[in-house]
Structure 1
Amino acid sequence: MSARRITRTRLFAATTVALAALSLTACEGDELTGSPAPDSATSATADANNAQPAGSAKGDTGEKDSTGSTGSNGSAGNDHASDTGSGTGSGSHAAGTDKGSDKGADSSDSDLPGKCSASDVRITAATAPRPINHLLLTATNTGSKTCALPEYPAARFGEAQSVPPVAESSKPQSLTTLAPGESGYAGVRLSSGDGSGENGYETTTLTIPFEDGSVATVRLPAGGVYVDTALTVTYWQTDASNALEY
């Protein structure tokens, strides 16, 4: 083998060793300076942390809690609305009940007889056979509706400025009401039987006012009547005999 060929062979071997050394050095440099491939779990955690910075999570949670509280308030608002609705319903029911009661009361009142008037009633006066010095007043309903007489006849004889007292013991349990054609009765003691009465006078006129302001003029027996301070009337009665017991 020639010297030249030996030299080339050595040069080629040296070059190969040098190239191998350079390659090995490059690989070791890469291993020393390069970053290892990131683990998938670690990468996911980093991404999550980058998406939501530390410290903001609690703040967001607090805001969500606040929102939750607002939701509770909303529920309270709904409860309030429900209470309001219930109140409205109860109020309507109460109003309806009161209205119905008022109508019932009005209907009941409408069934009661009205008060008699002088235009509805004709009053006559007759001398009673007994007791002495007594008149019997008869009030007859000449109208077409039932009516209630006043408690007693506020009789005014002649020019008298006051009405006679009423015998309280003659008061009936209720007002005397007259259907059309029916009559009520009242007794009048004109004077004392023993002459103990005072300021006596004779009169031929008698008027009896009604509660509506109308006045009935009553015709007295012929010759008129004599009255004194013993003058007394009874309450209106449904029976003539009761009217003459006092």
Structure 2
Amino acid sequence: MRSNRVRTTVLAATALLAALSLTACSDNGSSDNGKAGAAAPAGSATDQQSPAAATPNTGKDAKDAGSKSNTSAADTASTSASTSKGSAGATAGRKSNTGATGTSSSSPVTCTGGNTKVTVTKVSRPINHLLLTATNTGSRPCYAYHAPALRFDDAQAAFPVARNSMPQAVVALEPGQSAYASIGLFGEPDGKDLHKGKHLAVYFMPKSNSGSIGAPAELTLPANTYWGDNGFVTYWQSNMDDALTY
């Protein structure tokens, strides 16, 4: 009997130890799983994503985005059209202005008594000089070639030309612009065989400098004008001061 009780006690103890062992294994497994879950901070996976992926567009957002895109495209097209119209308008304005002047595209002609207004005036310096001014009154540019050919009253020969007054280039006059030539009434020796002048004919020369072109300008000389055979006239100049240096 004693032997049976001992065996029973041993078996009961063994069963208790086995049960405790199973309970311990079950508790340890639950604790380890809890610790594994706590080790991963909340949102760590979200922090690794781009903002666009974390907040995708909904259907409304996509519609709004499409609307903004269409509006932007329309604005761009409108701006491009306005810019194109503005550029076309500016170009048209430039063409209109060019056509309005009528000078830049017009071919030049030769200055004559018919397309210029010629005046003659007495100057204080240099003494015994007159100043000729020819102003383009036409609608086209004109060239004042060489020197004017002058004839005082009933003189048989043209007035001498100062060859050293030739400019570097032919004087070109736009409408409204003027050319100048000075007249030295008499040279050395002076004071002899002077003629009192009343009338002056101004002829314009062609490019060939042979003969004259067009009708002359007929002028009345300033009072008490005397001229001599040794006088001279300069070439046409574009500047009054240049003309009066001779």
Normalising by structure 2, we get a TM-score of 0.51
Residue of structure 1 equivalent to 2:148: 153
Q: Which amino acid aligns with 2:196?
A: E
In 2, distance between residues paired with 1:165 and 1:112? 32
Q: Which amino acid aligns with 2:202?
A: I
Residue of structure 2 equivalent to 1:203: 197
Whether contact under 8 Å (1:134, 1:188) holds in the other structure is: yes
Q: 1:180 to 1:174 in 2, by over 3 A?
A: same
In 1, distance between residues paired with 2:203 and 2:133? 15
Residue of structure 2 equivalent to 1:213: 214
In 2, distance between residues paired with 1:146 and 1:119? 13
In 2, distance between residues paired with 1:171 and 1:220? 25
How far off is 1:197 after superposition?
Answer: 5.0
Point out the more displaced range, 169-178 or 232-241. 169-178
Q: 2:114 aligns with which of 94, 116, 119?
A: 119
Unmatched segments (≥5 aa) in structure 2: 1-104, 205-211
Residue of structure 2 equivalent to 1:13: none
The structure with the largest strand share of the pair is: 2
How far off is 1:204 after superposition?
Answer: 0.8
Q: Which amino acid aligns with 1:120?
A: N
Which structure is larger by alpha-carbon Rg, 1 or 2? Answer: 1
Whether contact under 8 Å (1:141, 1:182) holds in the other structure is: yes
How far off is 1:213 after superposition?
Answer: 3.2
Normalising by structure 1, we get a TM-score of 0.51
Matched, 1:237 2:232: no
How far off is 1:219 after superposition?
Answer: 2.7
Whether contact under 8 Å (1:157, 1:203) holds in the other structure is: yes
1:242 is paired with a residue whose SS is: helix
Matched, 1:182 2:177: yes
Q: Which amino acid aligns with 1:208?
A: V
Point out the more displaced range, 230-239 or 206-215. 206-215
Residue of structure 2 equivalent to 1:162: 157
Residue of structure 1 equivalent to 2:129: 134
Unmatched segments (≥5 aa) in structure 1: 1-109
Whether contact under 8 Å (1:199, 1:228) holds in the other structure is: yes
In 2, distance between residues paired with 1:128 and 1:112? 35
RMSD of equivalent CA atoms: 1.8
Identity of paired residues, percent? 41
Q: Please give the per-residue CA displacement for 1:132-171, whole angstroms capped at 9, x wherever unaligned.
A: 1000110001111100113111011111111121111110
Q: What are the equivalent positions in structure 2 for 1:1-246 lying under 5 Å apart? A: 113-192=108-187, 196-210=190-204, 211-221=212-222, 223-246=223-246
In 2, distance between residues paired with 1:131 and 1:178? 26
Q: Which amino acid aligns with 1:113?
A: P
Whether contact under 8 Å (1:172, 1:235) holds in the other structure is: yes
Whether contact under 8 Å (1:137, 1:187) holds in the other structure is: yes
In 2, distance between residues paired with 1:189 and 1:206? 14
2:146 is paired with a residue whose SS is: coil
Q: Which amino acid aligns with 1:219?
A: T
How many correspondences in the alignment? 135
Whether contact under 8 Å (1:198, 1:229) holds in the other structure is: no
Whether contact under 8 Å (2:199, 2:219) holds in the other structure is: yes
In 2, distance between residues paired with 1:111 and 1:140? 18
In 1, distance between residues paired with 2:243 and 2:200? 18
